[in-house]
Amino acid sequence: MLTQQQKITLLPDKDIISLYKPLILIGIFFFLFYTLLSNRHIDHQSPQYIAKSKQTIYPYQYNTNNTNDPTNINHIVIGTSSTVDLLRYRKPYIDSWWRPNVTKGYLFLDREPTKFLPWPSSSIPYRVSESTLKYKPYDKHPTKSSIRMFRVIAETFREASREEGIRWFVMTDDDTILFIDNLVDVLQKYDHRKYFYIGENAESVLSNFDNSFEMAFGGAGYAISYPLAEALSKNVDVCIKRYPTTFGSDHLMQSCVADLGVSLTHEKGFHQIDLHKDLWGFLSAHPQAPTVSLHHLEVVDPLFPCMDRIKAVNQLMKAAKVDESRLLQQTICYDNTKHWSFSIAWGYTAQIYEKIIPPSILEMPLETFVPWRKPPKQPYMFNPRWFPKNPCDIPHLFFLQSVEIINGDNQILTTYTRRTTRDLPPCSRSSPDIPNYITNIIVISPTTKYIAQGGSRRECCDILDQVENNVTTIKYRACADNQIS
């Protein structure tokens, strides 16, 4: 008996063609349909498709025209939060650093700010935070607003995703002042296409112990790169449910960042200011790093004497607007004939000591402040100098009075005025020279930018005169090779 295959082979050629013709036609139809459909909807080689597919996988690498360009102010979005009840007191801090039509950011409020409408176009744009009622079962945080403040990263990311070129998200508090140019300089060091969480600890040991020594404190502010911000925005619900009892939004943030496998990158210029009382001793010995932020200015004495807090902030901003790169940077020089030491915190204070004190001592903050809370042992995350009783170790103190640019000479003149009459006995040295007669110190610095980062040195200075009109003049210069002050 013949098999089916044998029967087919015995058929004439025309019968075989008739048998397979429908199958061939169907195959040709589906081939043409698939080809036409593919060419019509997707050109896998077109630049538009390649760009779109890359954006889907790596949005942070393709949201700028040229990712190799240095980071600038247009690449940064700032997210902060406040309440309508506090807005009257906190908004002046934000206004001090906000630059209309230059900075990008949003202020998230707990409700519509009816009393403050119409909202000034010169102020940071505001948004009303989304409701957090659905998180109530997971809200056992000691700080009432923790969840709302934590969600600012997701809400800022959503707002900023409508813009092109965003690389960094900076989170901060409403009672924080920022120094935008220095912030840009700090972020330029890092690759925004990678996962970065940049900030700093608190100054208080107990604050870090209660939260985490690897936490960027939210008042000081912290910077989050685009890919990390995207990952956080997609996981806010997971983290809120996982950490229902953490103290504040910044600890919740650190916990979520850690769960994503990212650790803190420390930058010394972010300042939480977990301190109280007078900050001049702390700020006059600023670490050699760009000053990025100052927080908690409502719980310390005004930065300048005989001023309220907002006026004092604006006084500091006068210097910042002229030269942020040198703001609070310490410069030390000596008059060896009189055995005097000079310490300048540019744009803030000038000090004269009636003895020679080496830089390794002067760079330690003089304890004019007190701990955030009283701990059993050393309270600070830095080495302070205890405030002395010997007049030789107590400086003559001068505060910034004015700042002026001398364009023809490419120089900046800052003038510092004596704080108060010094009611102390003379220093118990044999030298008769006492700087009580000096009423003002003029500091001449260049208009060129100072780079206060790793690998750089403090600037040096020369004392030009000490007698004319009771004014001492000091001029900055680069340190000579191998020079020790």
Q: Mean pLDDT throughout 361-377? A: 84
Least confident interval from 209-223, 241-255, 465-479: 465-479
Lowest-confidence range among 91-100, 447-456, 474-483? Answer: 447-456
User: 211-225, 263-277, 311-325, 379-393 — which is least confidently predicted?
Assistant: 379-393
d(CA 69, CA 188) in angstroms, rounded, equals 10
- Contact predicate 196/221, CB 8 Å: no
Tens-place pLDDT, residues 397-423: 999 999 999 877 789 999 999 987 777
- Give burial (CB, 10 Å; 0-12/13-18/19+) of 113: middle
Q: What is the pLDDT of residues 158-175, one digit of tens each?
A: 999 888 899 999 999 999
pLDDT confidence of 2, banded at 50, 70, 90? Answer: very low
Average pLDDT of span 63-88? 87
Lowest mean pLDDT among 151-155, 376-380, 415-419: 376-380
Evaluate if residue 250 carries a pLDDT over 50: yes
> Token pair of 420, please?
């108060």
Q: What is the pLDDT of residue 295?
A: 97
Type of residue numbered 7:
K
| pLDDT band with cut points at 50, 70 and 90 for residue 66 | low
* CA atoms 275, 306, 90, 79: torsion sign: negative
215 has pLDDT over 60: yes
pLDDT of 56 > 80? The answer is no
pLDDT tier at 432, thresholds 50, 70, 90: low
pLDDT digits (tens, 9 = 90+) for 288-309: 999 999 999 999 999 999 999 9
33 Cβ neighbours under 8 A, 6+ residues apart: none
pLDDT at 431: 58
Per-residue pLDDT, 54: 31
Structure tokens at 373: 């809370």
Name the residue with higher pLDDT: 120 or 482: 120
Average pLDDT of the chain, as a whole number: 85
Instruction: Select, from the ranges 63-77, 89-103, 206-220, the one with the highest average predicted confidence (pLDDT).
Output: 89-103
Please name which of 376, 366, 372, 374 lies closest in space to residue 345, comparing C-alpha atoms.
366
Check whether 61 has a pLDDT greater than 60.
no
Contacts of 115 (CB under 8 A, 6+ apart): 84
Q: What is the pLDDT of residue 65?
A: 42
Largest CA distance in the chain: 134
pLDDT at 21: 57
| Angle value at C-alpha 283, between 282 and 284, nearest 5 degrees | 95
The pTM is what?
Answer: 0.83
Query: What's the pLDDT score for residue 282?
Result: 96
| Whole-angstrom distance, CA of residue 413 vs CA of residue 400 | 11
Given a cut of 50, is residue 4 above it in pLDDT? Answer: no
Of 37 and 203, which is predicted with more confidence?
A: 203
